[in-house]
Amino acid sequence: NVIIFGESGVGKSSLVNMLSSDDNALAAVSNQALGCTFETEPYQVTIDEREYVLWDTAGLNEGSKGSVSADEACEKLVDLLKQLKGGVHLLVYVVRGTRFRRIIKINYDIFQRVVFRGQVPIVLVATGLENEESMEKWWDENKDDLADNELYFKDHACVTTTKGKISKSGEHIFEEEYDLSKALARLLVK
């Protein structure tokens, strides 16, 4: 059981789709700031012949105009934890690849310190890095801020979860970055 969490609109559902072994979308995605995942949804994926259940959670921090309130998101998490058989094996914290913001620590603390009391490994996936010359540069520029705020991760992946528009040559403009991201994300979960 792998729980994928983070703010609304950071690419959690896109990450679920990228982790699947084929190009068929498993989870609904949206290009809007508000999330499109209203319930916690399980998705079966196979990575190198091993089965995983990815739990795509409702987005956190949508505010008063969001489709899922903060209280509802927490209630859905508690309901999920009650029904999970076999426990939780990994937390995947998905953040948008921008500068460090205080809300990143708040959400980390809720999941890692309060709910799971540091008993479950946590990894970080930074998304939205398709326009960067080196996606890994985000980690290099932000790892000290994360450590200074006591956010510790077993590992990380800096990725894009979009292939981008189709170019005149008929290929997606971020196909190469997406393929690399898919390999990194699958290795991270494995």
Bridge-based pairing state of the strands 122-127 and 156-158: parallel
Nearest to 21 by CA among 39, 4, 46, 2: 46
69 or 33, greater pLDDT: 69
pLDDT of 138 higher than 80? yes
d(CA 93, CA 6): 6
Nearest to 63 by CA among 41, 35, 29, 93: 35
| pLDDT at residue 114, rounded to an integer | 81
Walk me through the domains of the chain, giving residue ranges and CATH numbers: 2-21+39-189 (3.40.50.300)
Q: Strand order in 50-56's β-sheet?
A: 41-47, 50-56, 2-6, 90-96, 122-127, 156-158
How many helices and strands (H and E) does the chain possess? 5, 6
Contact of 59 with 9, CB cutoff 8 Å: yes
Over residues 140-161, the pLDDT tens digits come to 999 999 999 999 999 999 999 9
| pLDDT at residue 59, rounded to an integer | 72
Average pLDDT over residues 120-137: 96
pLDDT of 68 higher than 60? no
Contact of 186 with 178, CB cutoff 8 Å: no
pTM, two decimal places: 0.86
Average pLDDT over residues 1-18: 91
**Could you tell me the pLDDT band of residue 18, with boundaries at 50, 70 and 90?**
very high
Over residues 92-114, the pLDDT tens digits come to 999 999 888 888 998 898 888 88
